[in-house]
Structure 1
Amino acid sequence: MDTIAEARRQWTEHGWSESALGMSAVTSLMRAQAIMLRRVEAALKPFGITFARYEVLMLLTFSSRGSLPMSVIGGRLQVHQSSVTNAVDRLERAGLVQRTIHPDDRRAFIVTITDAGRAIAAEATTAVNAQVFDSPGISAAQAERLVDILAALRANAGDF
């Protein structure tokens, strides 16, 4: 049984028909996000990193110097600074990044990916590509439409 379809039916039956489609869309999106996160986390588990830590490693990998200020990491990943601190703390303990005091602002930190971090990022990317990104569970055409739909949602929310 599709529980979201049943919830939509119940929404309509209880007099909220004008909200039933939106509830179904939002609930479906949240359920799909949980499914994808579980798949990605399973692919990353052998490397001892979470998706949040993987995102930090990849952002550093893509940066021209392999380092960024912590505030820039938070801004680019669109997460709270405490989340960045938590991820960097764990990555640093694992020897995958180094944190140093910013040369121009002693209150700020620069995070630099280590050679071990680059190696883990590369291996983890191979795994995530093979186990999730190459086959997201929908066709390429559906994936293109989904990206367009979600881009519109994100734009309307001021995400970019």
Structure 2
Amino acid sequence: MAGTKRLPVDPIAEAKRQWVEHGWESAAAGMTAVTSIIRAQQLLFARIDATLKPFGLSFARYEMLRLLGFTRYGRMPMASAIARLQVHPTSVTNTVDRLVRDELVERHPHPLDGRAAMLEITPAGRMLVERATTALNTEVFEQPGFAGDDATKLVRIIARFRKDSGDFAEPKPQPDPL
């Protein structure tokens, strides 16, 4: 990654060596896997943040705009957004507040539930998220930094971990159309 000073030694490999030396060999591989994933997330987020910065977007703001942009009519209930983004409701509320302030999203009363809110992407929000998506695709997603089919293998491994951790269930088969 440009701008990052390379360390003379891999600190995660050194941590593994220390784990083994201190008698924690049975935990060394797991510690290495967990800290490697966390570090990889930091590196990828740095690329994402650098790509979104010119658009004035954080990843949270981008995700909300992209989610709304994917909907058929550009709107959805706030509760649905919270469930799909898998983020604490307070974080979603703060993100939406900033998007509303910047006139990228509008908040409306839910037509059937007076306690709930509907979120709707504005034309400015839609234009911004399309430009930001093009940049993310070009600068991050098309070349994430994995060789060959490593990205596919990694996604399978992590998806299995997520499923086994209760993050999602296998989709139920859809009935045949009538």
Task: Calculate the TM-score normalised by the size of structure 2.
Answer: 0.88
Work out whether 1:46 is the aligned partner of 2:22.
no
Deviates more, 1:26-35 or 1:138-147: 138-147
Work out whether 1:66 is the aligned partner of 2:67.
no
By how many angstroms is 1:107 displaced? 1.2
CA deviation vs aligned residue, 1:81-137 (integer Å, no higher than 9, x gap): 111101100111111000011111111100000000000000000111111101111
CA deviation vs aligned residue, 1:26-62 (integer Å, no higher than 9, x gap): 0000000011011101100011110011111111011
* Structure-1 separation of matches of 2:139 and 2:94: 26
Q: What is the identity percentage for the equivalent residue pairs of Structure 1 and Structure 2?
A: 54
Work out whether 1:114 is the aligned partner of 2:122.
yes
Secondary structure of the structure 1 residue equivalent to 2:87: coil
Tell me which amino acid in the other structure corresponds to 2:80: V
| 1:59-98 equivalence runs, <5 A | 59-98=67-106
Task: Calculate the TM-score normalised by the size of structure 1.
Answer: 0.98
Secondary structure of the structure 2 residue equivalent to 1:90: helix
Higher relative helix content:
1
Q: Number of matched residues?
A: 160
Q: Which has the higher contact order (CA 8 A, sep 6+)?
A: 1
- Deviating beyond 4 angstroms after TM superposition, the runs of 4 or more aligned structure 1 residues are none
In structure 1, the gaps of 5 or more residues are none
1:22 match: 30
By how many angstroms is 1:143 displaced? 0.4
* Structure-1 separation of matches of 2:116 and 2:50: 33
By how many angstroms is 1:140 displaced? 3.9
Check 1:64–1:40 CA distance in 2 against 1; reply closer, same or farther (3 A cut): same
1:142 match: 150
Alpha-carbon RMSD across the aligned residues, in angstroms, is 0.7
Structure 1 or 2, whichever has the larger Rg, is 2
